[in-house]
Amino acid sequence: MLSARMEQALEGLKRDGANRVVVTHAIVVKASAVALITARPLDSVFKMDIAPLSCTVLCYRTSWSIESPPELRAPL
């Protein structure tokens, strides 16, 4: 199942600590970024609107977070 594979992948990225670029389909982003990281039910992905060719940034420090890409952030 997709969510189980994504959970394993996120765990591996968390241990690795290196920056990665992953190109994937919107449903994978929904399953990983939103359903897993925010602990929402998997069926919540059908209510999400993630555009094709969009950019989602996942960050792990002490826990996972979803952030805006740096080029889209407002200057301070």
Domain boundaries, the chain: 2-69
Of 21-25, 48-52, 69-73, least confident by mean pLDDT is 69-73
Query: What percent of the chain is predicted at pLDDT more than 90?
Result: 0
Closest by alpha carbon to 20, among 34, 3, 32, 35?
32
pLDDT over 80 (residue 7): yes
57: part of which helix (H) or strand (E)?
strand 57-60
Mean pLDDT of 25-37: 76
DSSP letter assigned to residue 45: G
Structure tokens at 19: 């920056």
pTM of the model as a whole: 0.66
